[in-house]
Structure 1
Amino acid sequence: MREKDNLPVIVGVGQSVDHWDGQDAEKAPHPLAMIRAAMTLAIEDTGSSSVGPAIDCAAFIRTFPDSLREPVIPFGTISDLPQAVLAKTDLAPRQVIYSAVGGDQPQAMVNELAASLASGECEVAIIAGGEVTGAMKAAMKHGHRLDWSDDTDGPVEDRGRGEPLLSRYELTNGLGMPPQTYAAQEQAWRARNGLSTGEWRELAGKVFSKFSEVAADNEYAQFPTALSAEFLATPSKANYPMCDPLLKWHVAQDAVNQSAAVVVTTVGKARALGIPEDKQIFLHGHADIKDALVSQRPDLSRSAAIELALEQALTASDLESSDIAHRDLYSCFPIVPMLAAEALGLDPLNDQLTVTGGLPFFGGPGNNYSMHAIASMVETLRKDRDAYGLVLANGGFISKESVGIYSAAAPKAWAPVSCEARQARIADRPEIALINEDCEAEVEAYTVIHGRDGPASAYVIARNEIGRVIARIDTQDANSRSVLAESEDLVGKKVSVVHRDGVNFVSGLARA
């Protein structure tokens, strides 16, 4: 065996998008067919007819319907998605994996299978995923009755939903869906940087306008329209408030029909299969880091997981941030690319941050977005062969970070990266006591959640000498509601909290 024959390498990528308008039910994209389409494209992209029969591992990124405890499934259940996808292909992998929940999973799966390939546990792997949430919503709107049910089954390593990303305490007292949970962290970041809500929206608008310009030129984007910074910064009917400070177009858009897949093997196997060298893009340094629950993070305006994962991947690649020419920083909400830009020493207004256009504009296909980022990065680096590219994939509530650094240039040596030492920095942090009693505390973060008729609910996260308290703001109570008048500068203010019936509530501002 030649010295570098066991180096893992991406040899094929495929992406698919469907802009079905909801009119003709016969043209509605099918969830299984969408994923198969990307897999077919990825296999064809290798340039070798021998690849399909050689695939001995197939990994699938968990779909949204299989990620939620109470999913919306109006058109039937797919009982075993991996085997249902494979059933109408010629592939016969001996290992089939169904990933855990999280937007980190595409990059995490590349990292994991690269190690399996390098050790000889498998020889050729395909990783794929896709979503048709857009078609589901359009079909329901137009009254179509589609049948997506499938009872195919077979052996699958099903990793389930994974560990809970929010605790019962957090859910009881105000945290919940991604917008309302990320929004509080956005407020903490805004306050740390001394920005008003208007100034934060202006900054987010400028950064995300550049993202939308990239999406406008991307043939696989679901929403390929460039939006102005002014539009993105201004509340309007088309860009309405969701959870302060977030407006609609600051948030990942899930009404998409998109799929993507990558084929990974080793240099030696690629040569044996006749895959051209100009198709091959190498994984260099990589990292996977998990953070604690939101309520256990010492500084809600920062992310230790993002910082440590980026640091680990760069160190393992023997590179500096300045050596990276192309990036795709996860962008479900503005805080993620902002924090990553901070960690990398980048200027988010002027430095390149995405190769796809980002989740609000390219589209947010559930857990599979970063598969598109990896595929786009591979295509970019095939053209820019002396450059390095970095993909940051994010899962949960900045809960799980996965990073991969890529290049057409082979690494001098390759080995799976151990993140144990950096992960220990998070595990070794002191536990923060969570308060379930009457108290006063200083606000660290908060959000106001909007409905159609204005503010519908709100909560604060606050600290005192005992620990941390999360408390709801009762928008129907005059004293509690009065706190919202201070919402622009609520971070740093002291509030009074009362505990009743198992729930914490803000009763008003604490007296000086």
Structure 2
Amino acid sequence: MSNSIPEDRIPVIVGVGEIVDRPKDIAAGLEPLTLLEAALKRAEADSGAKLLGDIQSLDVVNFLSWRYRDPEKQLAQRLGIAPTHLYYGPVGGESPIRYLHEAAQRIARGECSVAAVCGAEAQSTATKAQRAGVELPWTPFAHDVEEPKRGAAFQKPMAVTLGVFRPITVYPLYESATSAAWGQTPRQALNESGELWSTYARVAADNPNSWLKKQFTGEEITTATPDNRMIAWPYTKLMVANPTVNMGGALILTSLAKARAAGVPEDKLIYPLGGASAEEPRDYLIRDQFVESHAQTAVLKAVMDLVEGDGKKFDAIELYSCFPCVPKMARRTLSLGADVQPTVTGGLTFFGAPLNTYMTHAACAMVRKLRDGGTLGLLYGQGGFVTKHHGLVLSRAAPKAALKQQTSVQAEADRNRGSVPDFTTEASGKGKVEAFTVIYRGNGEVEHGVTMLRTEDGRRTLGRIPASDTTTLAYLQDLDRTPVGSLGDIVTADDGMLEWRVA
């Protein structure tokens, strides 16, 4: 290690803790604050040192299963601490990686010597209690606290009307556009997704902290059945995140000087080497295209630069896995083959998706993986609709250079952005398919299809395909040729909504 970096300015992860709560009785389920506290205590125990009382920086990942007034302050009070940096952040699946990175930067700046990042959800218990009419003996629900802004708040009214404003209906647009751009038939794309997801399932089956410990073949994952219903083409239930879990995760960071003074064993120490972040416009309809995320590409290229520009240098990786298109795009940018091991955790379908905090658990799993062997790990988190991206490199070996403070690659992402077509809600004539999905009801019937279209004059719009138009729906869901790039007729329906029909 370079002697130029003082040990009190070298951040190091010293403790990781997780808790999974499967109560026998609904009312016995633990609330998110209790899960957070338990995860932090486990992280402290894992470090082998007494550190909780010294926390000066505490980041709490946003949770959606229960609403509190100032949960970060309530947690600090439970722990009997008064951190100078106390933060409860906005919604976003990338946020745990961002907080971890920022906590490391705080230590590198000398602003604190002990930091913690934690997140928890109790959606499984909250959902069961609501359905059974059970009142939970938790901290009273803070009804007057405003719910955080999500999907619909940032999208165009037409997208909201057509139902393409939730992750499950927006990611298929990327799925259809990317696979067409890669020259795949929908069948080939589905096979790739199935094989990738079965790898996540295998890892989850071996992870003691995962929610669903069952292995699935690629075919079992991608084939629609009554138990594995189609949700939004081409995604079945086993291809999407499962948020109905109860789990908490936490990481404790210190400076190397503090870790050594506290007696943390050397083989526990994992060093953050650096990372990068960038975002796409929140309204996905004002992005230039759907075959690539410039923000994702810029972030992954920046993290590869930390390992001599070679994605194969990572001994372990975690590619965010809310939907298959995300790791499929990421592995191509990293120049990794279809045989890539994309996870150390198990993925948001099988390990479980505690909403914004999956990557907290992924970071815990990565720390354990690197302690067991291997030198370099990549954590890549993502939030929104391929919107917010953050990558972080962890290492078993101490860094040779100080942690960088400026890590946004937004300028790079923006520079690569092409021109954005104007959006219109009124159009006629021919429309070319840019991306599409078909939305299904809970009973397995089609609700309607949605095509993202380019008009003859180059503008962008959305077209509905009613459930009664079985010809166009069959055309969209043909496994042997993609409808992306094909032309059809744009018509205005009786309710004023644009519809698209195969020519």
Q: TM > 0.5 between the two? A: yes
Residues matched between the structures, number: 488
1:207 to partner: Cα distance: 1.5
2:1 is the counterpart of 1:8: no
1:58 to partner: Cα distance: 0.9
Partners of 1:257 and 1:365 within 8 A in 2: yes
2:303 is the counterpart of 1:313: yes
1:317/1:8 CA distance change after superposition, 3 Å: farther
2:388 is the counterpart of 1:400: yes
User: How many Å separate the matches in 2 of 1:469 and 1:20?
Assistant: 49
Match of 2:98 among 78, 83, 108: 108
1:501/1:93 CA distance change after superposition, 3 Å: farther
User: How many Å separate the matches in 1 of 2:438 and 2:447?
Assistant: 8
User: How many Å separate the matches in 2 of 1:188 and 1:312?
Assistant: 25
Partners of 1:100 and 1:162 within 8 A in 2: no
Moved more, 159-168 or 414-423: 159-168
Deviations, residues 261-282 of structure 1 (Å, cap 9, x unaligned): 1111221222333322222111
1:159/1:109 CA distance change after superposition, 3 Å: farther
User: How many Å separate the matches in 1 of 2:438 and 2:309?
Assistant: 41
1:343/1:497 CA distance change after superposition, 3 Å: same
Matching of residues 1-80 of structure 1 within 5 Å = 3-5=5-7, 6-21=9-24, 24-49=25-50, 51-65=51-65, 77-80=67-70
Partners of 1:59 and 1:128 within 8 A in 2: yes
User: How many Å separate the matches in 1 of 2:155 and 2:336?
Assistant: 31
Moved more, 39-48 or 199-208: 199-208
Match of 2:488 among 495, 504, 507: 495
The equivalent of 2:129 in structure 1 is 139
- TM value normalised by structure 2: 0.90
Per the alignment, in what secondary structure is the counterpart of residue 130 of structure 1?
strand
Structure 1: segments with no counterpart, 5+ residues: 66-72, 153-157
User: How many Å separate the matches in 2 of 1:128 and 1:332?
Assistant: 20
Partners of 1:129 and 1:261 within 8 A in 2: yes
User: How many Å separate the matches in 2 of 1:288 and 1:271?
Assistant: 31
Amino acid across the alignment from 1:91 = I
The equivalent of 1:473 in structure 2 is 464
1:231 to partner: Cα distance: 1.1
User: How many Å separate the matches in 1 of 2:418 and 2:218?
Assistant: 39
The equivalent of 1:286 in structure 2 is 275
Partners of 1:496 and 1:508 within 8 A in 2: yes
Deviations, residues 452-482 of structure 1 (Å, cap 9, x unaligned): 151102211122464442324151565xx64
1:101/1:9 CA distance change after superposition, 3 Å: same
User: How many Å separate the matches in 2 of 1:233 and 1:25?
Assistant: 32
Match of 2:241 among 245, 248, 252: 252
Partners of 1:46 and 1:279 within 8 A in 2: yes
Deviations, residues 362-393 of structure 1 (Å, cap 9, x unaligned): 00011000011111100111121x52010110
1:86 to partner: Cα distance: 2.7
User: How many Å separate the matches in 1 of 2:451 and 2:500?
Assistant: 12
Amino acid across the alignment from 1:431 = V
Partners of 1:391 and 1:405 within 8 A in 2: yes
Deviations, residues 376-426 of structure 1 (Å, cap 9, x unaligned): 100111121x52010110100110111011111011012325345553442
User: How many Å separate the matches in 2 of 1:122 and 1:320?
Assistant: 33
Match of 1:347 among 311, 334, 337: 337
The equivalent of 1:236 in structure 2 is 225
1:151/1:195 CA distance change after superposition, 3 Å: closer
Per the alignment, in what secondary structure is the counterpart of residue 107 of structure 1?
helix
Amino acid across the alignment from 2:466 = T
2:80 is the counterpart of 1:90: yes
Per the alignment, in what secondary structure is the counterpart of residue 360 of structure 1?
helix
User: How many Å separate the matches in 1 of 2:38 and 2:450?
Assistant: 44
Amino acid across the alignment from 2:486 = K
1:420/1:136 CA distance change after superposition, 3 Å: closer
User: How many Å separate the matches in 2 of 1:483 and 1:505?
Assistant: 14
Moved more, 178-187 or 415-424: 415-424
The equivalent of 1:69 in structure 2 is none
1:183 to partner: Cα distance: 1.2
The equivalent of 2:256 in structure 1 is 267
Moved more, 432-441 or 451-460: 432-441
Partners of 1:471 and 1:503 within 8 A in 2: no
User: How many Å separate the matches in 1 of 2:291 and 2:375?
Assistant: 32
Partners of 1:165 and 1:397 within 8 A in 2: no
Partners of 2:53 and 2:80 within 8 A in 1: yes
1:319/1:243 CA distance change after superposition, 3 Å: same
1:303 to partner: Cα distance: 1.9
The equivalent of 1:155 in structure 2 is none
User: How many Å separate the matches in 2 of 1:472 and 1:118?
Assistant: 51
Moved more, 209-218 or 181-190: 181-190
The equivalent of 1:70 in structure 2 is none
Per the alignment, in what secondary structure is the counterpart of residue 185 of structure 1?
helix
Deviations, residues 288-324 of structure 1 (Å, cap 9, x unaligned): 1111232233331222222110111121344521211
